[in-house]
Chains A and B, each alone.
Chain A
Amino acid sequence: MDSLLSIIVFLPIVVGLLMLLVPKEQFAVFRWGSFLAMLATFFLSLPLLNGFVTSDQMQFVTKLPWIPEFGIDYHVGIDGISLFLVLLTNLLGPLVVLSTFSAVQDKVKQFYVLLLVLQTGMLGAFVSLDLFLFYFFWEVMLIPMYLLIGVWGGQRRIYAAVKFFIYTIVGSLLMLVAILYLYNNGPVDPATGKHTFNVLVLLGANLSAAQQSWLFLAFALAFAIKVPLWPLHTWLPDAHVEAPTAGSVVLAGVLLKMGTYGLIRFAIPLFPDAAVQWQMPILILSVIGIVYGALVAMVQTDVKKLVAYSSVSHLGYCVLGLFSFNLLGASGSVYQMLGHGLSTGALFLLVGVIYERRHTREISAFGGLAQTVPFFTFAFVFTTLSSVGLPGLNGFVGEFLVLLGAFGENRVLGIIAASGVVLGAVYMLWLVRRFLFGPLVHEENKNLPDLNGREWLVLAPIFILMVYMGVQPKPFLSRMEPSLQKAYSRVEQVRARAALEEELPGLFEASSPANAPASSPAGDSSETGEEARTAPAPGEGAEVDTGFDPLSLRMDDQRGQDVDPTDGVFEGVAR
């Protein structure tokens, strides 16, 4: 049980390395070997879901000393946030391999080895609880992706790959500097008495506002590039257009989430003061991204580019939700990450299907496909509906929660962001209209083969999950709730303190903790005061507790999932 997570992470790369020993003509071995490895990884990760206990603790934790001299551990574990991202990665894995059976005919061996290495890199990054380990996996992801674009890509693949690389490496290197700084200035591990890369320990770091600000910016830049947050997005359309289908699916489905995941796992909890300080600029950028991405997507002539810009818009929602600093926005954001992985993954798969048949992605080369390929039409329209957030499918839940949360945080930004709901429908339905409907004008499209059994097999699990996630978000949301509360607990404290400072300047210097409840603003918090008193609030946490904004995360005391707000530290649980 303890090693399950590690098996999941390393199974792909082990199979990949073993495949290096196989002669390169054995296509079937590479194809089926990778598929089975990915499938096994997926089935192995199902016990994670079963064994996961809804709580705010890290689970399936493994902690082994790696380089003890530097306080570097092999330290992995999952909580309610990473659980689902791991599952998403492992679900898409076998489907992506299956989708490449006919598309990849060149350098087959290398392709599948890289895909497997990439899988391990992504899984490792999602489960790492050690910053050094995280950075290691982060870089492991980068190189296979670079090669996938640069070797198996389209005509401008070199340009796209280098652009992808430069963008990413700039962010990564700054993050590395920040990690090292944090290591040197962070707290020592009480167990060893040394400096440490352990995230759970570093969460207790006592950094000045200026230190936090710089460190936050370095982390946030690396993650914002990965998201990508406007205006750091221009690598994405090029990378997507040039990447082979499998690369695009992995890129959109999983790799982009690495950015948003990094924000909620590291940037926000590690540097809460800075997160609050930089909240507004990031919110504004994400809202610009939503609208800008949608508008630019609208006028694209290349299907893949259109979907790429739609990702800029959708990921804007994710960042918006994360920085709304309430549970609604944050849960919506994580849900949107999963939902976008499915819907955009499926879109790229479908574009790949049609590209394989026609070798073009120009929208004007199509039209009227509904007459010749009804299965494809059904699948494409269904995916479109998921992407535009039709209620009943996955997209709606995330979008709705993000917008609801954002509206509570900032009315104006919430309203502008909500206009993305209209623009999303415009660019997707316009695409559908030009792609599938209208008269069949191009001779080449008259004898297109429809989806075959293998392609159905790739899409069917995604479609089923789209419906399930649309109808039953509860199992997802309830599992992520405690982890999200924990991730935001320090931000909550900062904001509560700031709110109190604003109302009663000098409160923190003057009053002792015990007096604080009595001096809490009576006007608007007679009820929140009650709530706070019922909450377990020991010692020095009391004054923070009483000031809780009624709009904040912790309104729901009746759900009994209170986290001690003063306990901003993740705690590894020994299971």
Chain B
Amino acid sequence: MNEAAYLWLIPALPLIGSVIAGLVTLLTSHKEIHHPPKVVGWISSLAVLGSFLITVQGFLALRGLEPANRFLELTLFEWMAIGPLNLNMGFLLDPLSSTMLLFVTGIAFLIHVYSIGYMSHDRGFTRFFAYLNLFTFAMILLVLGDNLIVLFVGWEGVGLCSYLLIGFWHTKTENAVAGMKAFVVNRIGDFGFLLGMFVIFWTLLSQHGTPTFDFRLMQSQAHLIPAGAAALAGILLFVGATGKSAQIPLFVWLPDAMAGPTPVSALIHAATMVTAGVYMVARMNWLYEMTPLPLTIIAIVAALTALMSATIGLTQFDIKKVLAYSTVSQLGYMFLACGVGAYAVGIFHVLTHAFFKALMFLGSGSVIHALHEEQDMRKMGGLFKKIPITGWTFLAGWLAICGIVPFAGFFSKDEILWKAWSSHNELIPWLPKALWVLGFLTAGLTALYMTRLVAMTFFGKSRVEPEKEHHIHESPWTMTLPLVVLAIGSLTVGFLGTPEFLGLGPNRFHAWLEPVFSGELYAVQAPGSRQSIDLAEQRAHGTDSPFVFADGDENATFRTVQDEHGHQATETQTDAHGSVGTDAGTEHGTDAHATPAGTDAHGSVDTHGAAAASHGGAAAHGGGHGEHDTTMEWILMFASLGMAALGIAIGLFLYLRSPATPVSIAAGFGGLYALVRDKYRVDELYDATIIRPLVGISRSFLWKVIDVRVIDFIVNFVGLAAKGTSFIFRFFQSGYVQAYAFVILLGLAVILFRVF
């Protein structure tokens, strides 16, 4: 056990900040405030900065540990303990949670600073920071929790803050409704999440394991969970993820969530909270590796969500709505990666997306700020010269999301598409290629709608309303500085995870996360369980992966290799991982002569690994030759670059050179266009099929009929019948309670008299 007592400070600092801001809010709530106390904003920001710095400290401490032992933990207190349940409030910092935490706290800090400028004129300034700090606290709990329940506490906590912040300007009914919608839709997801946890708990209990929600302890007992239960739990947990991370069918709340202040959209509804579902799936990877069904469902849902929301994004005019649908679409990409078993790639996209999408939301906030709350892109245009810092930084975000080399989005998106292409599905053999096609189309659409956004906002002729035109101004430094930092990030973070085949060395991002997804980090003896947990046995159970890669740089391959070589592989695996860069270890698997990572020998290593993999029978497209695989990767990379370029070109042509064309195209599609513009009328569908019937039945049947007519009728009838038939006894049934009391007293008196 690696104790790290300072971990509790990471969530505690924002919580303290939130309490301070909250108290100030309450104490000043009856005063007229002309100048909001900016110091509160700075205190909140510094609290988050503190969390970030401590996270860095934890990250560095992790780097100093052996990969196989790379985690820090802290148990704060025993939370719930009754019967078979033993639940601690504890934290776990490992490569996965530290990666998440670094960008969560880092970006949260930037957005706090940005908000000091953005919210400076708002009456609810301090309240805003109370909520924002509370959100940061909950998000940290979510990521840092060492068991599902602590994760769930954070999960619901961020949902609460999302509710409060969407409805931040609560005097407008629409905002309050949007907040409520977000909470309720998330609750539907949480319903599935809860049931998923229950399934795991009771399965472990009935299999004589140690029932638990602790990540490490659950994983060490994975072999006890039958495939059916694993599939059920995986699907139910994913239902929770569809709520939090806005996937089909529960994505409907996210676009409405844009009613909140723009920094909220950037932090909560783009960079951090909505990616919690991806984090959860990655965290539970061992469960999803057990049976093919859940991942297959995730992959299909994700790809469809990505494509569907991209089409909607193409038809919206509200700048924030476009970004919102873009977020839904990008979340689809992340789940697509997880769905093909490439969790590290999914997390990589979470990271890059956090930078470029937060950047673009904050940029849009700066635009909206400059135009005095104008959000309609039809009333923008030509802003690039007037607000240059916003403009230049926005361009960085645009190129990143379009996937133009060398911006961050290029590396992550390209890798997702490659993983989709090269994966192998046991249930539906042609699925990987179909997923790739959907992702590929989405990439083109993404480039198109983002180019449309940039063109309509920053370039072309100004369509700004004249009275707003001469008020346009660049934002204060508290707002532009975060933009610049995020723009630099959007340009550079992609290099953390450069793919192998480019010849820039092994993928460091994957190597860093490898211990989490290979499971070795989590080897733990279940206290009180009678089985000694045999890693090899557990691993053998974990090989049912639906997606097995033909090439050799993901751990799934390793599992194939290991299957081939049997016991020997299992024995050497830890050593290989322990002493060597994980990727080299992965590919070599069984080999004793593992080459240190990052050497030029890598090409040949690749061949070895791929060759070994192909013997596993997983090679779907004539794999087995490392050179061939690399070629395919190159081809696909240029294909997606071409697709992005095409999307940008079409976008520039349509929205700068020939603005009339899109209108006529839209008219040409007629009803179909209207359907897409109206978001496929999913809201209307839910309203008509679920909400209205439920309210109607509750009101006019359950309440007015069952309660009032049926049950009360019987009650009254009993009363009347008694009254009617028992004429003789009417004196005993007079309805006067005094009389009843008198009789009771009389009875007591008789008893007492008889006794004494």
Interface residues in chain A, defined as those with a beta carbon under 8 Å from any beta carbon in chain B? 67, 69-70, 139, 143, 146-147, 150, 162-163, 165-167, 169-170, 231, 234-235, 237, 292, 295-296, 298-300, 326-328, 331, 368, 370-371, 374-375, 378, 385, 390-392, 396-397, 400-401, 403-404, 407-408, 414-415, 418-419, 421-422, 425-426, 429-430, 432-433, 436-440, 450, 471-474, 477-478, 481, 527-528, 550-551, 553, 555-556, 558
Residues of the B chain whose Cβ atoms lie less than 8 Å from the Cβ of A555: 83-84, 205
Distance in angstroms from A141 CB to nearest chain B CB is 13
> For chain B residues 1-42, which have a beta carbon within 8 Å of chain A?
26, 29-30
Question: Is the contact region of chain A dominated by helix, strand, or loop, or is it mixed?
Answer: helix
Residues of the B chain whose Cβ atoms lie less than 8 Å from the Cβ of A170: 718
25 contacts between A and B (CB under 8 A): A139-B744, A146-B737, A147-B737, A167-B715, A292-B702, A295-B694, A296-B698, A296-B707, A299-B698, A328-B85, A371-B171, A374-B30, A375-B26, A401-B80, A407-B202, A419-B191, A422-B187, A426-B184, A432-B180, A433-B173, A437-B176, A474-B81, A477-B80, A477-B81, A528-B208
Residues of the B chain whose Cβ atoms lie less than 8 Å from the Cβ of A326: 83
Residues of the B chain whose Cβ atoms lie less than 8 Å from the Cβ of A296: 698, 702-703, 707
- In the complex formed, the residue of A with least CB distance to B208 is A527
Q: Tell me the complex Cα distance, A326–B707, Å.
A: 32
Query: How extensive is the interface on chain B, given as a class?
Result: 35 or more
Residues of the A chain whose Cβ atoms lie less than 8 Å from the Cβ of B198: 403-404, 407-408, 414
Residues of the A chain whose Cβ atoms lie less than 8 Å from the Cβ of B171: 368, 370-371, 437-440
Residues of the B chain whose Cβ atoms lie less than 8 Å from the Cβ of A528: 208
| B715 and A163 form a contact (CB under 8 A) | yes
Task: Indicate if B471 sits at the interface (CB-CB under 8 A).
Answer: no
What are the 4 A-B residue pairs with the smallest beta carbon separation, nearest first? A327-B83, A374-B29, A437-B176, A299-B699
Task: Indicate if B649 sits at the interface (CB-CB under 8 A).
Answer: no
Distance in angstroms from A170 CB to nearest chain B CB is 8
| A550 and B208 form a contact (CB under 8 A) | yes
Residues of the B chain whose Cβ atoms lie less than 8 Å from the Cβ of A437: 167, 170-171, 173, 176
Contact with A along B735-756 (1 / 0, CB 8 A): 1010011001000000110010
Task: Indicate if B289 sits at the interface (CB-CB under 8 A).
Answer: no
Distance in angstroms from A471 CB to nearest chain B CB is 8
Question: Contact check: which of B79, B156, B176, B735 meets A433 at CB < 8 Å?
Answer: B176
| A375 and B29 form a contact (CB under 8 A) | yes
Given A328-B84, A392-B153, A473-B80, also A550-B711 (CB < 8 A): no
| B157 and A392 form a contact (CB under 8 A) | yes
| A438 and B170 form a contact (CB under 8 A) | yes
| B82 and A234 form a contact (CB under 8 A) | no
Distance in angstroms from B278 CB to nearest chain A CB is 21
Q: Tell me the complex Cα distance, A15–B63, Å.
A: 69
| B180 and A430 form a contact (CB under 8 A) | yes
Q: Tell me the complex Cα distance, A555–B210, Å.
A: 10
Residues of the B chain whose Cβ atoms lie less than 8 Å from the Cβ of A397: 80
Residues of the B chain whose Cβ atoms lie less than 8 Å from the Cβ of A439: 171-173
Residues of the B chain whose Cβ atoms lie less than 8 Å from the Cβ of A235: 715
Distance in angstroms from B393 CB to nearest chain A CB is 35
| A370 and B170 form a contact (CB under 8 A) | yes
| B80 and A556 form a contact (CB under 8 A) | no
Most chain B Cβ neighbours within 10 Å, of A234, A396, A481: A234
- In the complex formed, the residue of A with least CB distance to B529 is A527
| B711 and A234 form a contact (CB under 8 A) | yes
| A234 and B712 form a contact (CB under 8 A) | yes
Residues of the B chain whose Cβ atoms lie less than 8 Å from the Cβ of A298: 694-695, 698
Residues of the B chain whose Cβ atoms lie less than 8 Å from the Cβ of A527: 208, 530
Question: Contact check: which of A143, A231, A414 meets B737 at CB < 8 Å?
Answer: A143
| A422 and B191 form a contact (CB under 8 A) | yes
- In the complex formed, the residue of A with least CB distance to B81 is A474
Task: Indicate if B152 sits at the interface (CB-CB under 8 A).
Answer: yes
| A169 and B82 form a contact (CB under 8 A) | no
Most chain A Cβ neighbours within 10 Å, of B171, B697, B719: B171
Q: Tell me the complex Cα distance, A421–B188, Å.
A: 8
Residues of the A chain whose Cβ atoms lie less than 8 Å from the Cβ of B694: 295, 298
Given A146-B737, A299-B703, A438-B176, also A415-B83 (CB < 8 A): no
Residues of the B chain whose Cβ atoms lie less than 8 Å from the Cβ of A231: 706, 711
Task: Indicate if B361 sits at the interface (CB-CB under 8 A).
Answer: no
Q: Tell me the complex Cα distance, A119–B356, Å.
A: 62
| B30 and A450 form a contact (CB under 8 A) | yes
| A403 and B194 form a contact (CB under 8 A) | yes
Task: Indicate if B190 sits at the interface (CB-CB under 8 A).
Answer: yes
Residues of the A chain whose Cβ atoms lie less than 8 Å from the Cβ of B711: 231, 234
- In the complex formed, the residue of A with least CB distance to B127 is A374
Contact with A along B678-690 (1 / 0, CB 8 A): 0000000000000
| A166 and B177 form a contact (CB under 8 A) | no
| B205 and A551 form a contact (CB under 8 A) | yes
Q: Tell me the complex Cα distance, A296–B701, Å.
A: 9
